[in-house]
Structures are given as structure tokens and as C-alpha cells.
A and B are shown apart, each in its own frame.
Chain A
Amino acid sequence: MSGGHFLWGGKPITFETGESIAVAVAKAGVRDLSAGEGGLRRYFCGIGACQNCLVTIEGTLVEACLTPARDGLRVDAPEAGHD
């Protein structure tokens, strides 16, 4: 395993083995993780404490910074207003 791609809002993001979704997305230059709601989702603490980097995987919210990237994973911004 040396990484792969997952889909962020349908767009492929490259990651290397051992990277979390948050790190892969940050390295791809994505800063606003929200679906057009004024940047209320964004990477901040990196240790799961702030809950600011929540993303949706298979309908459930997870901290992007605690969730390992996996090849083929579909990751999306949560619906607006969801926390």
C-alpha cells in the first residue's frame, strides 16, 4: 500500500498511506470543508477535540482528522446546518 485516491465531493484527492482524510485534503489545498455555508467546517486542532473538521462518510459524520483515508472512499461535506 502506498496510498491512493478518495473522492471529496466527487473530486479525487490523492493520499499517501497513513494519512487521515484531513491531512490529504489539506495537502490538496482544500481549506473550506463546508458545503457553501460560510466556512463553518475547517481543519483546526488535528486531534479530534474541536469537531470542526466533520465530514460525511456513508451518511455519518466523522472527524476528518481521525479518519484514515482509504482508496475509493466517498467523502462529502455534511448538509448545511448539520453539526
Chain B
Amino acid sequence: MDGRGGKSVVVVGAGIVGAASAYFLAQSGFRVRLIEAKAPAAAASGAADGAVSVASKRPGPMMTTALAGIALYRQLDEEGLFAGLFKQRPTVMVAEDESEVESLTGHADALAGEGMALRRIEGEALRRYLPDVSSGVRLAIEVGNEGHAIGYEIVRRLIAASGVAVERDTTVHGLVESASGRSVAAVATSRGRVEADHFVIAAGGGSADLIGLSGIVRPRKGQLAVTERSPTLNAALPGALMSCRYLLSKDAIAGAAGTAARRFGLVVDPLRTGQFLIGGTREETADTGNDLAAIRHMLASAVRLLPPLARLRVIRVFSGVRSATRDGLPIIGRMPGRDNLVVATGFEGDGICLGPLVGQAVGRIVAGVPSELDLRPFAPDRFGQRSLVA
């Protein structure tokens, strides 16, 4: 994998995508500079739910990519890079009323059609499998081979393994065009210009302005809660419990006057630590506060589904702001008209699941090696011609 002639790459953003890009690029022999506005995992990667999951996806490019993303987690776990950081566990989707059972059945059929390993659990078997869930749950679909990883831990591991020193507190103001106008010569930063042979923009919500995609990438906030440790209850839950309502996205609530509209999903994830992570919301805002109404609603739904949770205490609530694109697909690939500029952003809630995989893909794109992934659905030029910020 050597023989890149020591070509240099600047990666902008030390979230999970930037850290993974830096890692795979360094592995391939590139000289990497990793430039970060604040600190590693300071934004969405450090406040994510950590789902490494495909269960809620519908057949299509995102499902295919997420499956590959999970496979890479397993591989990196076995190889030791992610040792101790990736908790393999199934996702258990549950349905309560008739319409939920119907849609979950349809969804399960679609997943099975893609060759995924599923188990359909009902009746007595369901009570034995999920002894603590509400008696209202009528159907569970176990989606195997999924897992959970904490974003900031993965980022830290990737950066340490890359050997790259993060250039912290360095804001990238813009891209500097080369004389030919066909490539990028440098990034202009708060600490001066940084030149390189290649550039990777993986700055999450900060990417859009740099590459002329403002308005296409939008903030979408999520609120989450963490409980205290409860080893027995934690161990009794085979995997992350996902309410079918999440899938249906029916549980939409208009915001109070002056606040953003939001939707609720419900996932109760038993963490490695014995704690539970309970999430979450999707809110059309970039503010990072936690409001009682949202947390209360999430927790009430969680207790309704898993009544013993009522006995636990919440020790922390937090929020993260995802970067969502207009069409719900991420933006991955070379920027049109800029030969040496690769962008990877807009992962919304899938950054932790896809981050390592996308970093690997970015490494291949920069190296000019064909990718095993079909990245065409994520091409940056799909939003039409855009003028680049120079």
C-alpha cells in the first residue's frame, strides 16, 4: 500500500468521518493533516446514539451501505482496532397495535427479501424473549448482527491508530483555488493557509458552506437520555428495543409556538456499561438545548414499552445536531470541477454506523482506487450545478 510518493492530504473535520478518513489515508501512505475547528468528536459524533444498525432502513442504497458499514465494524473489531468498543447486539423492533403489526410485518418481509437475518417472535416465545416489555407488545422482529459503538470512543481510537496529530481549534474559512481553476490549492484557516495535494471535507454541518451546498445540508437535532447502571435489567434485554412508531414516524408533534416541529422515535439501547440510552427526537433546529417536554415524552414512551425502566434514574440528558440533506442521502464523492476535493457529509443519524466505511471509501477515492461500494446515489453533483466557494 506504499508508493503514494508521500502525497499530502488535508482532512477538514475530526468527527468520525474525518477521523476514519485520516486513518485509512495514513494507512495507505498519505501524509495526513487533520484540521479541526474545535476538538475531536466535538459535534455530532460526540453526541450520537451510537447505533450501528440497518434495522430501520428500507431496501435501497442506504440499506446496502449500512450493511457494509456494520460488516466493517465487525471486521475492525476482530482485527483489534475497535476491540472493546463495539457491542454486538441485535435490534429488536416491536409492534403493539394492529397497524403497527401490519407495517412491521411488511418491513420485515422487505428486510428478509434483502437476505437479512431476522427472527419473528410472537406469543409465549415473545414473553420469554422479552420478559420485561409491556404486555401490549404483540410482535417482535429481531434483526441480528447489529451493534452499538460510542462515537467519541471510535474517533479517539481511529485518531490514535492513524498517528496523525489533530490540529485543534483551527477554523477553515474557505478553499483556495489552484491557478488552473480545476483543483484546490489550499485551505484558508484561522492559522494560515494549508496546502496539500488532496483535500477531504468531512466537517458535518460546517461542510456545506465550504463546498457551496448551503441550504442542502440542514441541522436536525436529536435529544437523548442516559440512565444509571442497572445490570440485571440491562442483561435481560437482548438488544436495542425499537418501537415500530420510529419506523412509521407517525408520532409527529407540532412544536409549541415559536419552536421547531419535531418527531419522536423510541429506541431503548442497553449499553455495555449497564446503562440504558433512550432516544430520541428529530427536530428542525440547530439549537442544542434539552427541554423537559421532549425528554418527558421520550421517557414516558420508554416506560410504557419497558415498564421496569420507571425504577431507574436518568443521570444525563444531551442533544446532538445531525447534518441532514434535502433528499435524506449523504453526500460522498469528488466535487465536480475540483479534481482533488472529496466531500463526505450529510449522514444525519447514520454517521456512527457509516463513518468507518465512508472513511475507507474516501481513502480509496483519494488514492484513485476503485471502491467496492456503489457511491453513485451519494454523488455531490446530484443537486445540480453549484458554484463552488473559491
Contact = CB atoms under 8 A, between A and B. Distances in A.
Touch test A–B (CB under 8 Å): yes
Interface of A: 59-61, 79-83
Interface in B298-318: 311-313
B232 interface: yes
B61 interface: no
Interface stretch (B223-231, B239-247, B261-269): B223-231
Classify the interface of chain A: helix, strand, loop or mixed.
loop
Contact of B274 (A59, A60, A61, A81): A81
A58 to B, nearest CB: 8
Interface in B205-229: 228-229
A82 B311 contact: no
Contact of A81 (B229, B311, B312): B229
Q: Which of A59, A60, A61, A83 has the most CB of B within 10 A?
A: A83
13 contacts: A59-B311, A60-B311, A60-B312, A79-B230, A79-B231, A80-B231, A81-B274, A82-B228, A82-B229, A82-B230, A82-B232, A82-B274, A83-B229
B231 A82 contact: yes
Instruction: Give the top 10 A-B pairs by smallest Cβ distance, nearest first.
Output: A81-B231, A59-B311, A83-B229, A60-B311, A83-B228, A82-B230, A82-B229, A81-B274, A79-B232, A61-B313
Interface in B277-335: 311-313
Nearest to A62: B313
Given A59-B311, A61-B228, 14 more contacts: A60-B311, A60-B312, A60-B313, A61-B313, A80-B231, A81-B231, A81-B274, A82-B228, A82-B229, A82-B231, A82-B232, A82-B274, A83-B228, A83-B229
Contacts of B230: 79, 82
A79 B313 CA distance: 15
A56 to B, nearest CB: 9
B270 to A, nearest CB: 13
Contacts of B228: 61, 82-83
A35 B232 CA distance: 15
A22 to B, nearest CB: 18
A19 B312 CA distance: 25
A58 B242 CA distance: 28
A55 to B, nearest CB: 13
A26 B347 CA distance: 54
Nearest to B230: A82
A81 B228 CA distance: 10
A81 B234 CA distance: 11
Nearest to A80: B231
B307 to A, nearest CB: 11
Contacts of A81: 229, 231, 274
Nearest to B235: A81
B229 to A, nearest CB: 5
A45 B7 CA distance: 58
Contacts of B313: 60-61
Contacts of A83: 228-229
A60 B313 CA distance: 8
B99 to A, nearest CB: 34
Contacts of B312: 60
B140 to A, nearest CB: 25
Interface in B20-66: none
Contacts of B231: 79-82
Contacts of A59: 311
A79 B236 CA distance: 15
Contacts of A80: 231
Nearest to B310: A60
A81 B235 CA distance: 12
A54 to B, nearest CB: 9
A80 B274 CA distance: 11
B351 to A, nearest CB: 29
A81 B311 CA distance: 16
Contacts of B274: 81-82
Nearest to B231: A81
B234 to A, nearest CB: 9
Nearest to B313: A61
A70 to B, nearest CB: 19
